[in-house]
Structure 1
């Protein structure tokens, strides 16, 4: 069954500011041994919200549903976040308000948090299965995250922007973007001293297996979307997985620091606007410590759609 991707969209925290205004930037930069070089490091500007992940999610959901006009057709809502900083009952009250404000009524909700920034891939895997089994026709998948605090916004491997991303996965109306396949894994590197704690050998095997299932090689991938870590770290990942530098997606979405799981949807929204003469395949690669994930997306040329 073909799973179409509709209304791919994202929102950033309402306050946007340059990277050098991050709390303790100079002290941390020197401590981490990093250059003040945004073009090299992949940091430019960030988004910060005075609200929380629920507010970002609600803002995005309302926009997606307004643009799609399909609030009454949603069968399932998935909300992915690395954390929801409130109690169970408080979270339910906030979710109830979100559902009411967005006109979603009593649509079933699934929340994914344990896999951090990799939660998008777990959500894609689950949504694909729900649609493929016939249990759902339209799944609204949303990711939303905020930095723990301003003191945590600048990390050794990335800067964090508050953001939300989302889209509707559907078995109905066709779209120029389709989800071909998704795979997720969890594992630790065999070398305890490795730079990446996650099992990249297993991830490399997964990439080979998934592409091979559709008769594709790494060289057939038009663009590779990775988390917005510092560019040297991203390039290390690309090299380890046998992917070439020109394949790396380097659009405007990569200049907004690490937007948690929304990185991939921001990039996918930008890629969906590309004018292409022939169909293209995009490979989304997720890495969040011991969690890994990959998704293969096909972009159908408008003339052939």
Structure 2
């Protein structure tokens, strides 16, 4: 049975950015009664700036830009195209059709959506297709455009608090090519996915669904940031440690630990509990914000460019997503 190896990974970060200070100024200008202490966003999240897609760009355009990078680096036929993102161009049809048309591939398509774990779940599905012999090469493309759902006009302070996590969300594209590896020496070694779905209401973006309907107020993020952090902490390190134990590994055996990043202060306690050395991680949230499901591909690409990982390196991908879900993937590069 072939394994599925990561043949190429890429991320696209739009050049246009908005600093945390600019976000605060905009909020004050639009909401005269809002008391927003200077530097609050940076102190609370560690985020300095976020990326903004160009005018007229959609989620599919971000995905296409990243997909073209991986296809140029690793050319070949595509047996399946999966669009994996919390964002989408339309409710119907699947955004993968739009990406497919813009790339001119003519491949079979479908979408995978699971908030910030969308790319990780798409890799899980692609791995299964390759192991089953149905595909030899799968292109996963993500286009995250969460800045479209940021609330600028606020009713009161309580609504500001519920909207706060959205101010550090960032637009980005990402792409991954998985292909069959007959040697079995490289590829996805193991996966583990967990959910605590009773907490689904902690963070929502209901617009376009049957709950939110056509209510304009439902087109913005509504999140309990403290509640989200609490649930992730309650999950604890045991699922991650159990995955490592299955393979006789410790965190120090990993060349890279890539983890979804929402805010900088959350990370040190997590790495400390896992025993992850500081030189085995890539911090992206400070300079690029919360990139949703494009986070892990960006960290993996940066690690490659910095010489942290190469052929044979052992990588652990940790995905955290609203819903609430935890995704783990152990990969031999």
**TM-score normalised according to structure 1 size:** 0.79
Write the distance in 1 (CA, Å) between the matches of 2:137 and 2:70: 13
Deviation per residue, 1:198-244 (Å, 9 max, x gap): 465556332122212222122322332222322112234334x5334
Equivalent of residue 66 in structure 2, options 57, 60, 63: 60
Identify if the C-alpha distance between structure 1 residues 265 and 173 changes in structure 2 by more than 3 Å, giving closer, same or farther: farther
Identify if the C-alpha distance between structure 1 residues 53 and 10 changes in structure 2 by more than 3 Å, giving closer, same or farther: same
Contiguous gaps of at least 5 residues in structure 1: 300-305
Task: Say whether the 8 Å CA contact 2:130–2:180 is kept in structure 1.
Answer: yes
Matches within 5 A, 1:1-305: 1-22=2-23, 24=25, 31=36, 35=40, 37=42, 41-49=45-53, 50=55, 51-70=57-76, 73-88=77-92, 91=93, 95-105=96-106, 107-113=107-113, 115-149=114-148, 151-152=150-151, 155-156=164-165, 159-172=168-181, 178-187=187-196, 196=229, 198=231, 200=233, 202=235, 204-239=237-272, 241-244=273-276, 246=278, 249-251=281-283, 255-275=287-307, 279-289=312-322, 290-299=324-333
Deviation per residue, 1:127-153 (Å, 9 max, x gap): 111111111111111221102537349
Could you tell me how far 1:160 is from its partner in structure 2?
A: 1.2
Task: Say whether the 8 Å CA contact 2:145–2:171 is kept in structure 1.
Answer: yes
Cα RMSD (Å) of the superposition?
Answer: 3.6
Write the distance in 1 (CA, Å) between the matches of 2:9 and 2:228: 33
Task: Say whether the 8 Å CA contact 1:165–1:266 is kept in structure 2.
Answer: yes
Write the distance in 2 (CA, Å) between the matches of 1:196 and 1:277: 29
Write the distance in 1 (CA, Å) between the matches of 2:173 and 2:229: 26
Identify if the C-alpha distance between structure 1 residues 8 and 177 changes in structure 2 by more than 3 Å, giving closer, same or farther: farther
Identify if the C-alpha distance between structure 1 residues 96 and 287 changes in structure 2 by more than 3 Å, giving closer, same or farther: closer
Secondary structure of 1:233's aligned partner = helix
Contiguous gaps of at least 5 residues in structure 2: 153-162, 203-225
